[in-house]
């Protein structure tokens, strides 16, 4: 039998991932906005990063996770 994973550990990992993905998205978004002619690849990467971020936010809402309660 494996070690039981605590819900709080998973919630904390989720919050850390949300922060990391948000920073990644904002960085890509900034690069694309500063480009004179953004490439299709850059626009796709921005859309993917945004989709990841929004998915993680929905997951946190579904799990009733709040950064205010953790920190």
Q: What is the pTM of this model?
A: 0.83
Rounded Cα gap, residues 69 and 56, in angstroms:
17
Q: Is it the case that residue 4 has pLDDT exceeding 90? A: no
Q: Is it the case that residue 67 has pLDDT exceeding 80? A: no
Q: Which of 50, 49, 66 is nearest to 14 (CA)?
A: 66
3: left (phi over 0), alpha (psi -120 to 50) or beta: beta
Q: Which of 61, 58, 56 is nearest to 14 (CA)?
A: 56
pLDDT, residue 68, reads 75
Chain segment 13-38, per-residue pLDDT in tens: 999 999 999 999 999 999 999 999 98
Chain segment 46-65, per-residue pLDDT in tens: 999 999 999 999 999 999 98
């Amino acid at each position: 039998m494996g070690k039981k994973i605590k819900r709080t550990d998973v919630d904390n990992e989720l919050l850390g991932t949300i922060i990391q993905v948000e920073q990644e998205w904002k960085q890509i978004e900034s690069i694309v906005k500063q480009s004179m002619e953004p490439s299709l690849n850059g626009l796709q990467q921005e859309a993917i990063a945004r989709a990841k971020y929004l998915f993680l936010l929905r997951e946190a809402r579904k799990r009733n996770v709040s950064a205010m309660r953790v920190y």
